[in-house]
């Protein structure tokens, strides 16, 4: 591969890290407008990051190296995940050597580091959030794998670029009704993995309901900025996974060029606008589930994904 391809890979990572806060700001703005509230600026997350990076970090007395290094590890893992997902083009080196199974492993790695760091200083909230997060991960990862297996069976490979280039093209997507079940299951997994309603409310700090926020309460300054940025990047990555599996239109599949990448970027922004609006609408019209009802929600996601597999094997195989 030429040097230009690796430069494009770096550019894709920069686009992902730059668009992730903007995507989170767009979702927040849509939620505020739907709730008839004064909408914050769409670039509000950038302001928050700037303020946090200019503050001095405060650490707990008993914080170990794990607590201090977890924000950097989690953020780096999310950037690497963004490099694997073919959000703009399939002709990138990292995306061609790492498959979707490795992507699920990266998300699990970030979850483990966050949970261990939350328990490191021994606070009640951190331990509570870590236990809830691991419970959610225990339920969401099988459902996500079942969703991915739908695509694996159709394409005959676990590589996301190959999936985009083979069966999951605009002409083939309408021929697979199993994708409808997989898409619904994926949306349910996305909501749970990113601490969105109805599983969690990202804007609350009530100790009886919070999951993600309980794990980052002890962070401040640059550490909190990296944790928040990583959470936005995770939401962005999950949205791009959905685009790759179910709406691959606009992704450049030929040789990398300036024109092709520009068109792919415009298509990605358009899909993010639609996805952010749909996510805000769903959250506005949904009520938060009780914590003991969350396993039922995720079990339904797993069953829908399995149903998609059965439909593929019985009707499309």
pLDDT of the residue at 125: 84
pLDDT of the residue at 13: 95
Tokens 């050597």, located at residue: 97
pLDDT of the residue at 105: 94
Q: Is 203 exposed, middle or buried (0-12, 13-18, 19+ CB in 10 A)?
A: exposed
Please report the sign of the dihedral spanned by the C-alpha atoms of residue 47, residue 51, residue 52, residue 53: positive
Q: CA 311 to CA 33: how far, in whole Å?
A: 39
- Tens-level pLDDT at each residue, the chain (317 residues): 578 888 899 999 999 999 999 999 999 999 999 988 888 899 999 999 999 999 999 888 888 999 999 999 999 999 999 999 999 998 888 887 888 999 999 999 999 999 999 999 888 888 888 999 999 999 999 999 999 998 888 888 888 888 887 755 555 555 678 888 999 999 999 999 998 888 887 776 666 667 888 898 899 999 999 999 999 999 999 999 999 988 888 888 877 788 889 999 999 999 999 999 999 999 998 888 888 888 999 999 999 999 999 998 887 65
pLDDT of the residue at 56: 93
pLDDT of the residue at 208: 61
Reading the block at residue 38, the tokens are: 């004064």
pLDDT of the residue at 98: 82
Nearest alpha carbon to residue 115 among 127, 102, 125, 123: 127
In angstroms, how far is the first alpha carbon of the chain from the final one? 36
Q: Global pTM?
A: 0.94
Say whether 184 sits in a helix, a strand or coil: helix
pLDDT of the residue at 28: 92
Nearest alpha carbon to residue 158 among 66, 237, 228, 84: 84
Count of beta carbons in the 10 Å neighbourhood of residue 23: 24
pLDDT of the residue at 206: 61
Domains of the chain, by residue range, sit at 3-316
Q: CA 132 to CA 55: how far, in whole Å?
A: 30
Q: CA 101 to CA 159: how far, in whole Å?
A: 9
Reading the block at residue 20, the tokens are: 């992730």
Report whether 160 contacts 293 (CB < 8 A): no
Q: Where on the phi/psi map is residue 287: left (φ > 0), alpha (ψ -120 to 50), or beta?
A: beta
**Helices (H), strands (E): how many in the chain?**
13, 0
The CA-atom distances, in angstroms, between 185 and each of 84, 87, 116, 180 are: 22, 20, 28, 9
């Amino acid at each position: 591969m030429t040097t230009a391809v690796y430069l494009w890979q770096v550019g894709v990572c920069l686009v992902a890290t730059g668009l992730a806060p903007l995507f989170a700001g767009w979702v927040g703005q849509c939620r505020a407008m739907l709730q008839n509230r004064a909408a914050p600026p769409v670039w509000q997350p950038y302001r928050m990051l700037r303020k946090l990076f200019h503050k001095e970090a405060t650490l707990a007395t008993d914080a170990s190296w794990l607590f201090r290094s977890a924000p950097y590890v989690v953020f780096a893992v999310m950037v690497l995940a963004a490099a694997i997902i073919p959000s703009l083009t399939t002709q990138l080196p990292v995306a061609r050597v790492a498959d979707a199974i490795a992507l699920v492993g990266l998300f699990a790695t970030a979850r483990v580091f966050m949970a261990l760091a939350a328990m490191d200083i021994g606070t009640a909230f951190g331990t509570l959030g870590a236990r809830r997060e691991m419970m959610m991960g225990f339920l969401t990862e099988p459902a996500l794998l079942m969703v991915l297996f739908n695509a694996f069976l159709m394409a005959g490979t676990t590589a996301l670029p190959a999936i985009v280039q083979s069966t999951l093209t605009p002409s083939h997507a309408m021929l697979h009704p199993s994708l409808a079940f997989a898409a619904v299951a994926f949306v349910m997994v996305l909501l749970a993995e990113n601490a969105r309603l109805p599983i969690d409310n990202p804007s609350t700090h009530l100790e009886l309901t919070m999951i993600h926020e309980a794990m980052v309460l002890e962070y401040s300054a640059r550490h909190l900025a990296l944790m928040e940025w990583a959470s936005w990047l995770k939401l962005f990555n999950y949205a791009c996974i959905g685009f790759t599996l179910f709406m691959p239109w606009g992704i450049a599949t030929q040789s990398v060029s300036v024109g092709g990448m520009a068109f792919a970027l415009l298509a990605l922004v358009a899909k993010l606008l639609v996805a952010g609006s749909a996510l805000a609408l769903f959250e506005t019209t949904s009520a938060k589930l009780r914590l003991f009802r969350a396993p039922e929600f995720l079990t339904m996601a797993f069953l829908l994904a399995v149903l998609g597999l059965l439909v593929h094997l019985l009707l499309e195989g």
